[in-house]
Amino acid sequence: MKRVLETWLPPVLFGVTLLGLWQVLTVAAGVPSFLLPSPSSIADAFSKNFDSITKAATSTGANALIGLMSGAILGIAAAILAVRFRVVDGLLGSLAAGAAAVPIVALAPLLNSMYSTTTDLPRRLVATIVVFFPVFVSTAKGLRQVPQVHADLMTAYAATGWQITRTVRLPAALPHLFTGLRIAAPGAVIAAIIAEYFGGLQHGLGSRITSAAANTAYPRAWAYVTAAMILGLIFLAAVLLLEQLTRRPRTTIWRSK
């Protein structure tokens, strides 16, 4: 209980204090809504548009989830190949660095023009590319940091390269893998939202934010932004939960020994 309070109480108190100061500042100083709406007006707009916000968040979340899963699978597979084969490492390392250097605002309109704007494929591709780099780099780093004695022992047992990767390298690389996923999960949501700014289907959070802002409905626009923040936190929480679930069996085995 004490550990939970130490972990969650400070950020909760900080958030409540920040919202209180925000409310007082915007109301007492008479800040116009187009500069900064008050938290109460944003909450009111959120409740009034809850159904449309939920639908938009579901659409954006689906694109981000598909991009996260695709990018993670490709990143892990590429890392395994890069560690196994030096030539592949040189090729994929340069490709991953190039993909990470391309800004989303340049990539999204390009993919929209290459593929049909009546589908969510361009947005999912953007999210996949954004996720690929951190997962690839983190997983490859973890796969390379296996103690040499473990690899030598498996070699002495006449294990194949894939058996060494599956039984020794991948379990040892899990902490690094989840480090990459913690970065990639909110990044997938951000990429999916930014990709929605450049045309295509108008049913996601990004298009709703731009539409509300263009109609000077700033509290409603901030309500959609709040939904985007919540969606990103949900993705991050899911990764953290998955990380805890993968650690439990190892902890149980260690204690049983």
Structural domain contains residue 239? yes
Structural domain contains residue 60? yes
Structural domain contains residue 5? no
CA pair distance 97, 92, nearest whole angstrom: 8
102-151 pLDDT per residue, tens: 777 777 778 877 887 778 888 999 999 999 989 998 998 888 877 665 56
Structural domain contains residue 76? yes
> What is the pLDDT at residue 254?
37
> What is the pLDDT at residue 170?
77
144-195 pLDDT per residue, tens: 877 665 565 666 555 656 666 666 777 778 888 999 999 999 999 999 999 8
pLDDT at 248 over 90: no
Mean pLDDT lowest among 88-102, 130-144, 220-234: 88-102
> What is the pLDDT at residue 109?
79
Mean pLDDT of 185-206: 88
Structural domain contains residue 45? yes
Structural domain contains residue 207? yes
Q: Quote the domain boundaries for residue 108.
A: 41-249
Mean pLDDT of 221-247: 92
Number of structural domains in the chain: 1
Structural domain contains residue 19? no
Q: What is the CATH number of the domain that holds 242?
A: 1.10.3720.10
Structural domain contains residue 25? no
